[in-house]
Structure 1
Amino acid sequence: MWIAFTVLAAFMQAWRNAFQSQLSKDVNVAGVTLARFIWAGPIALVYLIGLYCWQPVSAPQFNGNLLMFVVGASLMQILATGLMVKLFKMKNFAVGAGLAKSEALVAAILGMLFFGTQLDLIGWIGVVIGGVAIMLLSTVQGIKQLSLKTVLLGLACGGAFALTSLWVREASLQLTLPYTHSAAWVLFAVISLQTLILTTYLWFYDKLTLQALFQRPKLTLLISVCSCIGSIGWFTAMSLQAVPYVKTLGQIEVFFMLLISHFWLKQQVKINDMLGLILIAIAAVLVMWN
């Protein structure tokens, strides 16, 4: 089941990233980040209610650790999304999203250091290959013209997403509910907090950005829908399996991104960019073998 949820998440996230890439041409980073959450909350609530109609269970018992993990994941995902939008503005969609996928490798390392996940030799080979891939994706005019700024931004984005995923899993494990229900509760809590934070900020400091979102209702709704369905997949998969395994399998998103970039966005992907994305996928498979 975790494999099916991960593939669903990767597919929906690829489309969400594509729509965010389009919106980032006209809306600033904070607005594009909010577009991910603004309509996702009601969808998550409907999903949660649907689960209880399908399988009634007891109400969750919240504790301090759960709240801490939810707050941490919420803030870190906002940061990660903002950094990813920055990547979209620096390079094309496929490459920007590919750099953000360093998340899987960072999650494997952090999981090993702080969450008890172990990597064998094959896993470490995957980490090295992934590092080479990030370097390829960060070059402007070949490997000799490596962009350190892009590398650091990509790694920061991946690291923020990795921490988000690790804390989401820890939050889900705090609830003694079926995995679908625990993931749905965490999803609803995280999205609600994120929407509240970003909407409040924009209402007081940048109302023009809020207006810009409502002037693009179709694109904003598409981003929220894809984001929510993708998050349902990620959160549920991570409630069943350790984050490094979920995120490395989720690298199948790389191929979805390439297809969307080429056939829908009509963007050209250079040879070294394609090689870098393929290496990321290979690294993911190797990490999965540990």
Structure 2
Amino acid sequence: MIAPIWLPAALIGGALQAWRTAVQRRVSRTLSINAAGLVRYLYGLPVAVLLVIAYEAVFARTPFPALGVWFVPFCLGGGLAQIIATNLLLMAFGERNFVVGTAYSKTEAVQSALLSVFLLGDHLSLPTWVGIGFGVAGVMVLSTGGKRMAAGAFLRALGQPAARYGIASGFMFALTTIGIRAATQAVATPDHIRAALIVLATTVAAQTVAQGAYLLLRERDQVVRVFSEWRVAGQVGLMSSVASACWFTGFASAPVALVRIVGQIEVAFTMAFAHFYLGEKTSRSEILGLILVATGVVFALVGSL
């Protein structure tokens, strides 16, 4: 059964994620890729824990729910996939501009749809698949960076580093959604928000330990910088945890493909942040891509009715 909360959760999650990614790019200019990724988890962990405590204190009406035997493995798998996906996304940013790097990663929507069908047994309606098609077309237009490209040139461009990193990032983000969806199903509660917050706190804690250990072993000089950038990093952590809480709630209450398709509206917020926050220009091609993405979202919403 699809709970109606998935829609506002996906929209709010998309907006916050675009904002967080824009701020994180500022951090990535002074930190390594792994250090920039760590700030999401290190500074987001206290927020995630506080969200669980607050929700349990105010809204929980039953004892803390039992956790299934696969809860921890799914949290660990989803968390590791997200770490890899985030690093790949930051690497894509290093090859092309902010909007294009994000656009390539948005192939995650179609990858999530295919994986959810084969791995989770989700069933998607025809309008939803049409929406996926429009969404993919939109992000592919965005991926040209406003350049006029013939079909052959466009296909050759997919072999460039930014495209490879972006598409690989999308695949790992798709695996993340599968892991998180499965983890929320392993929490013995009908409350989707409660399950999502428990999964969030567990996953972020594991990510903090994993990414932090890597930095201590391989990039120890970056550890001091992670703490010295606390003003901006704190913003990244706050928005990251709140955005993830929204995403996880969506995954717990609806098919992951549906949540991610609607979540592609994040591209609109990304373009806005790129234009007003990072000072990047928006081309006609990018506007066309945005229209296609928005059309895809509309079809997905129709398919969910």
Which TM class, normalised by the smaller chain length? over 0.9
Provide Cα deviations, 1:16-52, integer angstroms capped at 9, x if missing partner.
Answer: 0101111222212101111111111111111111111
Q: 1:13–1:253: 8 Å Cα contact kept in structure 2?
A: yes
Q: 1:11–1:253: 8 Å Cα contact kept in structure 2?
A: yes
Using the size of structure 2 for normalisation, the TM-score is 0.88
For 2:233 and 2:273, the matched residues in 1 are separated by 18
Question: Residues 79, 7 of structure 1: CA spacing in aligned structure 2 closer, same or farther, 3 A cutoff?
Answer: same
Q: 1:98–1:277: 8 Å Cα contact kept in structure 2?
A: no
Question: Residues 6, 133 of structure 1: CA spacing in aligned structure 2 closer, same or farther, 3 A cutoff?
Answer: closer
127-136 or 29-38, which deviates more: 127-136
Question: Which of 47, 50, 59 pairs up with 1:46?
Answer: 50
Question: Residues 28, 58 of structure 1: CA spacing in aligned structure 2 closer, same or farther, 3 A cutoff?
Answer: same
2:147 pairs with 1:135 = no
Question: Which of 74, 77, 82 pairs up with 1:77?
Answer: 82
For 2:130 and 2:194, the matched residues in 1 are separated by 36
Hey, what does 2:210 align to over in structure 1?
197
Question: Which of 90, 101, 106 pairs up with 2:106?
Answer: 101
What is the correspondence of 1:1-290 to structure 2 with a 5 Å cutoff?
Answer: 1-54=5-58, 55-139=60-144, 141-144=147-150, 145-146=153-154, 147-148=157-158, 149=160, 150-177=162-189, 178-290=191-303
For 2:229 and 2:256, the matched residues in 1 are separated by 34
* Count of residue pairs the alignment pairs up: 290
Question: Residues 274, 83 of structure 1: CA spacing in aligned structure 2 closer, same or farther, 3 A cutoff?
Answer: farther
165-174 or 94-103, which deviates more: 94-103
Q: 1:136–1:143: 8 Å Cα contact kept in structure 2?
A: no
Shift of 1:268: 0.9
Gaps in structure 1 of 5+ consecutive residues: none
SS in 2 for 1:109: helix
For 2:240 and 2:141, the matched residues in 1 are separated by 28
Question: Residues 91, 270 of structure 1: CA spacing in aligned structure 2 closer, same or farther, 3 A cutoff?
Answer: farther
145-154 or 179-188, which deviates more: 145-154
Question: Residues 117, 159 of structure 1: CA spacing in aligned structure 2 closer, same or farther, 3 A cutoff?
Answer: same
Provide Cα deviations, 1:45-66, integer angstroms capped at 9, x if missing partner.
Answer: 1111111111242223233321
Shift of 1:275: 2.4
The RMSD of aligned alpha carbons is 1.9
Question: Residues 171, 288 of structure 1: CA spacing in aligned structure 2 closer, same or farther, 3 A cutoff?
Answer: same
Using the size of structure 1 for normalisation, the TM-score is 0.93
Q: 2:68–2:188: 8 Å Cα contact kept in structure 1?
A: no
Provide Cα deviations, 1:109-149, integer angstroms capped at 9, x if missing partner.
Answer: 21122222223443333333334334333336432343223
For 2:10 and 2:137, the matched residues in 1 are separated by 25
Shift of 1:273: 3.0
Question: Residues 277, 95 of structure 1: CA spacing in aligned structure 2 closer, same or farther, 3 A cutoff?
Answer: farther
For 2:217 and 2:43, the matched residues in 1 are separated by 20
Q: 1:134–1:151: 8 Å Cα contact kept in structure 2?
A: no
SS in 2 for 1:289: helix
Amino acid at match of 2:26: Q
Q: 2:128–2:258: 8 Å Cα contact kept in structure 1?
A: no
Shift of 1:259: 1.4
What percent identity do the matched residue pairs reach?
29
Q: 1:94–1:269: 8 Å Cα contact kept in structure 2?
A: no
Provide Cα deviations, 1:216-237, integer angstroms capped at 9, x if missing partner.
Answer: 1111111101100101111112
For 1:83 and 1:278, the matched residues in 2 are separated by 27
